[in-house]
Amino acid sequence: MPTLKPLGTLLNAPDYADRVNLIKKIKTSSGWRFASVVPEANGRLKDRVRINGQLEVHPEGAYYIEWRVGGRQGRRYRTAVAKDEAIDQARRKAIELRAIRDGLIAAPEPEPEPAPKTTIGDAIDAYLRYVKMQRYQHNQTGGWLHIDQQSQFYDRHAQPIAKEHALEHAGHLTLAVSEISQAQSLAKGSVGTDQGLSL
């Protein structure tokens, strides 16, 4: 014997209608929107939808199932489904929601919170830190040097790097680091003499 539907429900409503909506995203004169799907008497879908109480045929668009978690004020979820599987997917989802409501199965884990987005204030602070760095371009090589107020060198991604590496990358350093240190030691040894240093 078929189960009786409670008072207040539509007699011809599908068996998934109490928890899950079958909708279709269609194109109207005012743009894309969602509309309720109207299945045929035999349970098949013929692209008929209800818009403002009127039945219309819209072959364009995609089918979705829609449900809420947390009652009427809860979060709404939508999932795209194939036309051939739309009614079956809606039934499965309605059975799953009833089983969760009745405590037969555990509710799925909530989706993890998305990573916090960069706030406008943090983005502005990062930009100002980047702009405060002084930038110099080498005339012949076109390489760039980035230096902040504390004489710290940075690469193009604003990561601190060694002075020698920065100078070498920018093309300012034509001598090897060992030659520079050797020249500096010779210059220190010749302080107070009249001899010049030639490199």
Q: Let me know: does 90 contact 65? Beta carbons within 8 Å.
A: yes
Instruction: For residue 164, give every residue at least 6 positions away whose Cβ sits within 8 Å of its Cβ, in sequence order, or none.
Output: 173, 177
Q: How confident is the model at residue 180 (pLDDT cuts 50, 70, 90)?
A: very low
Of all residues in the chain, the percent with pLDDT exceeding 90 is: 20
- pTM of the predicted protein model: 0.49
Provide the 10 A C-beta neighbour count for residue 61: 18
| Cα dihedral 62, 63, 69, 75 in deg (nearest 10) | 20
Q: Is 73 in a helix, a strand, or coil?
A: coil
Q: Dump pLDDT digits (tens) for 77-87.
A: 899 999 999 98
pLDDT at 16: 57
pLDDT at 33: 93
Cα Rg of the chain (Å, integer)? 35
Domain-by-domain residue ranges, the chain?
20-101, 120-189
pLDDT at 82: 93
Q: Dump pLDDT digits (tens) for 117-155.
A: 889 998 888 887 776 666 666 666 666 667 776 777 777
Provide the 10 A C-beta neighbour count for residue 55: 9
pLDDT at 22: 92
**What is the enclosing helix (H) or strand (E) of 50?**
strand 48-51
pLDDT at 65: 93
- 35 vs 63: CA distance, rounded Å: 10
Count of alpha carbons within 13 Å of 71, Cβ hemisphere only? Answer: 1
Least confident residue range of 43-52, 66-75, 136-145, 168-177: 168-177
Instruction: For residue 158, give every residue at least 6 positions away whose Cβ sits within 8 Å of its Cβ, in sequence order, or none.
Output: 129, 130, 133, 146
Question: Is residue 197's pLDDT more than 50?
Answer: no
Question: Is residue 195's pLDDT more than 70?
Answer: no
Quote the mean pLDDT of the chain.
75
Question: Is residue 167's pLDDT more than 50?
Answer: yes
Mean pLDDT of 14-32: 82
Q: Dump pLDDT digits (tens) for 33-44.
A: 999 999 888 878
- Burial, 70: exposed, middle or buried (Cβ in 10 Å; 0-12, 13-18, 19+)? exposed
Q: Let me know: does 81 contact 89? Beta carbons within 8 Å.
A: yes
Q: In the numeric block, which tokens belong to residue 18? A: 């109490």
Question: Is residue 93's pLDDT more than 70?
Answer: yes
pLDDT at 125: 86
Q: Say which amino acid occupies 76.
A: R
For residue 189, report the phi and psi dihedrals to the nearest 5 degrees: -70, -20
Mean pLDDT of 102-106: 86
Q: In the numeric block, which tokens belong to residue 149? A: 């107020």
Provide the 10 A C-beta neighbour count for residue 65: 24
Mean pLDDT of 30-53: 89
